[in-house]
């Protein structure tokens, strides 16, 4: 399917003009793939799954997961819940294949607080999903990492603050919702050890809710202490914390207001006990409007970006240990496409030392020049961010 990518979302067009993106739903009105129970497809991007050996098309692409008709309400209102439940049933964090004629993983909505938060009949209102918001569960502590929340706060009920989080790729396990045969809901965790976990619903006083809302509007962190006052050893903390502003490693400038897109294609390489990983985010510092630029050009740009990220990682692989020891664990690569093509690489607000730039020169310049420059084409400047991590495998 050809791609149209003028925003931060990956969007694909099928022949009838239906736009699909990560966690979107495409329904069929009648019998499909041999059963009336097959409702359609929910589309997902690959994250932690192995793609080795799969016959894949050129990026960007999505995987279609077959949705049972009884699962449609969750696929519409809270698709992440269905995605993770499929992961618990078949393959962590979610399968990239479909199983026909399977039993539904959810039945009737039943008794759940979600009935108060979502209009399952007409879908006039639903749980607000906050991009970039993740939840980390630690020992006796729950961290809610926030990057943008004002819209959800303004639309939420005065006495209830309910928000939907994004998939957290850095977590070693994920909470899932399981519906039992009698219609009750349970919270479990999918991970290597499959340890049971508690769900996240915190009841606070009216005064505390006012303080929480005030702190969030002022973009300040806030901690809620849960548990009995006479049992301090059993207390747990729920910490709402604003994540660090995205800063360019090259010049230290904020990237918050800069247009960006996520490529959903990992570029990760290991050497000498270290890993260099691309965040998959592409920031467009300059992106001239070109009305003649079609979906083919967009797909070519995506492939070129992935080649650049891969070349950057491979060139620095022999130097990862030294870079990390010298405090350069977060790296930026800024590439310019115009009549004077080139790149800048840096860390901690400074250009990389000459030895690393020389290593990058020989591999990056040929890739950048392979794009070519067309007459009348607007300049393009994009920045990629990489991290050097410890290899604990």
pLDDT in tens, 99-132: 999 999 998 887 787 888 888 888 888 877 776 6
More confident residue, 288 or 342: 342
Which of 379, 361, 346 is closest to 253 using CA atoms? 346
Length of the chain: 393
- Give which of 299, 282, 298 is closest to 59, Cα–Cα: 299
39-80: pLDDT as tens digits: 999 999 887 788 888 888 876 788 999 999 999 999 998 899
Q: Which element (helix H / strand E) includes 286?
A: strand 274-287
Q: How confident is the model at residue 176 (pLDDT cuts 50, 70, 90)?
A: confident
Give Cβ neighbours of residue 274 (< 8 Å, ≥ 6 apart): 320, 321, 324, 388, 389, 390, 391
Q: Indicate the pLDDT class of residue 332, thresholds 50, 70 and 90.
A: very high
- Residue-wise pLDDT for 230-259, tens only, equals 777 767 888 887 766 678 899 888 776 687
Beta bridge partner(s), residue 224: 238
Mean pLDDT of 194-223: 75
Sheet containing 63-68: order of strands:
25-27, 38-44, 63-68
Q: Domain residue spans in the chain? A: 20-48+59-116, 128-244, 260-390
Q: What distance in Å separates the CA atoms of residue 365 and residue 359, rounded to the nearest whole number?
A: 11
Under 8 Å between Cβ of 332 and 347: yes
Q: Is the pLDDT of residue 344 over 50?
A: yes
pLDDT of residue 244: 63
More confident residue, 297 or 189: 189
CATH number of 128-244: 3.30.1360.220
CA distances from 210 to 117, 158, 160, 164 (A): 20, 9, 11, 20
Q: pLDDT value at position 239?
A: 82
Give the span between the Cα atoms of 40 and 56, in whole angstroms.
21
Spatial separation of the C-alpha atoms in residues 361 and 156, rounded to whole Å: 51
Considering the chain, what percentage of its residues have pLDDT values greater than 90? Answer: 23
> Dmax of the chain from CA atoms?
74
Residues 6+ apart with CB under 8 A from 324: 274, 388
Transcribe 210-255 into DSSP letters: HHHHHHHHTT--EEEEES-TT-GGG-EEEEEEEPPPPB-TTT--B-
The answer to whether domain 128-244 and domain 260-390 are alike in fold is no
The Cα 285–Cα 256 span in angstroms is: 11
Question: What topology does CATH give the domain 260-390?
Answer: 3.30.500
């Amino acid at each position: 399917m050809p791609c149209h990518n003028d925003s931060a979302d990956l969007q694909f067009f099928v022949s009838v003009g239906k736009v699909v993106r990560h966690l979107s739903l495409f329904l069929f009105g009648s019998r499909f793939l041999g059963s009336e129970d097959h409702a359609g497809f929910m589309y997902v991007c690959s994250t932690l799954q192995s793609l080795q050996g799969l016959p894949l098309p050129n990026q960007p692409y999505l995987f279609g997961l077959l949705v049972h008709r009884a699962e449609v309400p969750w696929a519409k209102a809270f698709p992440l819940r269905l995605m993770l439940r499929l992961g618990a049933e078949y393959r962590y964090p979610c399968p990239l294949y479909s199983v026909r004629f399977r039993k539904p993983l959810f039945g009737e909505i039943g008794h759940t607080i979600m009935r108060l938060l979502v209009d399952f009949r007409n879908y006039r209102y639903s749980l607000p999903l906050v991009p970039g918001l993740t939840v980390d569960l630690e020992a006796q502590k729950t961290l809610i990492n926030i990057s943008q929340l004002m819209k959800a706060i303004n639309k939420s009920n005065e006495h209830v603050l309910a928000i939907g989080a994004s998939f957290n790729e850095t977590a070693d396990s994920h909470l899932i919702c399981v519906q039992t045969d009698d219609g009750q809901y349970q919270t479990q965790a999918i991970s290597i050890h499959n340890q049971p976990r508690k769900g996240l619903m915190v009841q606070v006083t009216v005064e505390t809710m006012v303080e929480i809302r005030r702190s969030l509007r002022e973009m300040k962190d806030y901690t809620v202490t849960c548990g009995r006052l006479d049992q301090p050893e059993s207390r747990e903390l729920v910490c709402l914390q604003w994540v660090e502003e995205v800063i360019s490693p090259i010049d230290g400038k904020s990237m918050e207001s800069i247009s960006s897109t996520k490529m959903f294609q990992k570029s990760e390489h290991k050497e000498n006990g270290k890993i260099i990983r691309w965040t998959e985010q592409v920031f467009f510092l300059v992106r001239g409007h070109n009305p003649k630029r079609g979906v083919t050009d967009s797909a070519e740009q995506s492939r070129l970006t992935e080649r650049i990220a891969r070349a950057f990682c491979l060139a620095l692989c022999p130097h990862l240990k030294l870079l990390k020891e010298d405090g350069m664990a977060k790296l930026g690569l800024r590439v310019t496409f115009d009549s004077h093509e080139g790149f800048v690489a840096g860390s901690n607000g400074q250009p990389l030392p000459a030895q690393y730039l020389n290593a990058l020169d020989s591999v990056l310049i040929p890739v950048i020049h392979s794009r070519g420059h067309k007459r009348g084409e607007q300049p393009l400047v994009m920045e990629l961010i990489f991290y050097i991590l410890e290899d604990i495998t």
